[in-house]
Amino acid sequence: MNIILFGPPGAGKGTQAEKMISHYNLPHLSTGNIFRENIKNKTELGKKVTLILDAGKLVPDETVVELVTDELKKEKYKSGVIFDGFPRTVKQAEELDTYLQANGENIDTFITLNVPEQELIDRILSRGQGRSDDTPEKIKTRLQVYRDETEPVLNHYKNKDVVKEIDGVGTIEEIFERITSALS
């Protein structure tokens, strides 16, 4: 089963992904986590993307797609995956679809978490993870990038009839319950 967890920054994708991993026994692929790990370890990729993440802009599609398609070759993804933070542009979505099709697979469900903008900002500012992109100015940039470049990915998958819209406001458990009902 291949699932995309979609939504703006602060929507709770990472939190819900953690719960889904154990519930569905699926691995999690978060491009943001992979980038942050590479930055921490000062790898070549890390050096390449540091300033981009810091600014709240998007890593170039080519770099992201290469990273994801390499990652997907690992044995642990053989029964499926929960994508989080990817695809983030229509180009990335098209490349992912092509890759999956070539392997006789597809996206089974696209879960989008709906949360009002002010709540997103409040959540990011209060989560206190110490991320360098969690400042008010950078959150503004990330939300703008989301609206301009990422939101069109939703329509891309609406055309494929796999989208489940989830109300992302409530307790973590309530939202998880909505996700599991939508997937059942």
- Site for ligand ADP, rule CB under 6 A: 9, 31-32, 35, 52-53, 56-59, 64, 85-86, 88, 92, 133, 142
Q: Which is nearer to ligand ADP, 9 or 168 (CB)?
A: 9
Q: How far is the CB of 52 from ligand ADP (least distance, A)?
A: 5
CB proximity list for 138: less than 8 A, separation 6 or greater: 54, 55, 56, 132
Residue nearest to ligand ADP (CB): 32
| Tokens 């770099």 sit on residue | 63
| Tokens 């992302």 sit on residue | 168
Q: Which is nearer to ligand ADP, 76 or 127 (CB)?
A: 127
Q: How far is the CB of 114 from ligand ADP (least distance, A)?
A: 15
CB proximity list for 58: less than 8 A, separation 6 or greater: 52, 64, 88, 89, 145, 149
Q: How far is the CB of 184 from ligand ADP (least distance, A)?
A: 26
Residue 153 CA to residue 117 CA, distance in Å, equals: 18
Q: Which is nearer to ligand ADP, 59 or 179 (CB)?
A: 59
Residue 67 CA to residue 70 CA, distance in Å, equals: 5
Q: Could you check whether the bond before residue 87 is cis, i.e. omega within 30 degrees of 0?
A: yes
Q: How far is the CB of 80 from ligand ADP (least distance, A)?
A: 19
Q: Which is nearer to ligand ADP, 26 or 95 (CB)?
A: 95
Q: Which is nearer to ligand ADP, 71 or 105 (CB)?
A: 71
